[in-house]
Amino acid sequence: METYLFTLRWIHFLAGVTWIGLLYYFNLVQTPFFAKAEAPVKNGMIQKLVPDALGWFRWGAMFTFLSGILMYMAKLHQLGGGSGFFNTSYGWAITTGGLLGTLMFLNVWLVIWPKQKIVIASTTQVAQGGQALPTAAAAGRRAALSSRTNFVFSIPMLFFMGAASHFTLFYDASEGCKWGIAFFLAVVIGALELNSLIGSQGPTKKPLDSVKGAITAGFALTAVLFILFKLLF
């Protein structure tokens, strides 16, 4: 079991560094660059660089998710199933981080990659003398909102993943506390995810339109979730 868990953790680290590293590249480097780049440069990168980067990005997400799920199931078994697991600070911290990571994984495969394929196809079509796809602008906006939401989620996700083994969030977990934190986690995280999936403009989208706003939102979300744990346990 030790060898099995270590191997999974090693894969999780390697894939996670690839995935989150590219997530930060897209949000902190590429998106600001595209906002300033001339059209030929931007279009050339979309055709020749972005597809390869997205390939490493989505498969990094896949292997991070799969190795994480296998580790989670093993730990759940080791700690005596749901009753024992969810009485521990470790169980709740890793579940919170895992919930955020799972939503990020789903955003990659079900939103960002499908929408980016439309953007890439449209750019390639224009480069070959054709017309832009009419859905390309909306697809690009949806992909951008989901990517920035993943960036926001990554900050508390890494906090709670680290806290699972290295920081005790609470010492006693009553049934009321467990139901309370489950409810508030679902409401807060669900609202932010819906914000990225519904609509394209509005005040709740503004923090996602700048690097500074996304960083601030990520640390604010971490603080809110941490305070919820401290208040409810």
Residue partners of 34: CB distance under 8 A and separation at least 6 = 42, 45
Do 75 and 85 form a contact (C-beta atoms < 8 A)? yes
Which range marks the domain in which residue 129 is found? 2-232
Quick: pLDDT tens for 152-183.
999 999 999 999 999 999 998 899 999 999 99
Cα end-to-end distance, the chain, whole Å:
31
Looking at residue 164, its pLDDT comes to 95
Looking at residue 189, its pLDDT comes to 98
Quick: pLDDT tens for 109-145.
999 999 999 999 999 999 999 999 999 999 999 999 9
> What is the residue whose two structure tokens read 């932010």?
192
Amino acid, single-letter form, for residue 14: L
C-alpha 78/C-alpha 76 separation (Å) is 6
Looking at residue 45, its pLDDT comes to 97
Q: Is pLDDT of 191 > 90?
A: yes
pTM over 0.85: yes
Amino acid, single-letter form, for residue 216: T
Q: Is pLDDT of 150 > 90?
A: yes
CA distance to 38, 44, 102, per residue, from 125 (Å) = 18, 12, 34
Looking at residue 88, its pLDDT comes to 93
> What is the residue whose two structure tokens read 């914000």?
195
Give me the chain's average pLDDT, please: 96
- Domains identified in the chain, total number: 1
Do 122 and 43 form a contact (C-beta atoms < 8 A)? no
Average pLDDT over residues 86-93: 94
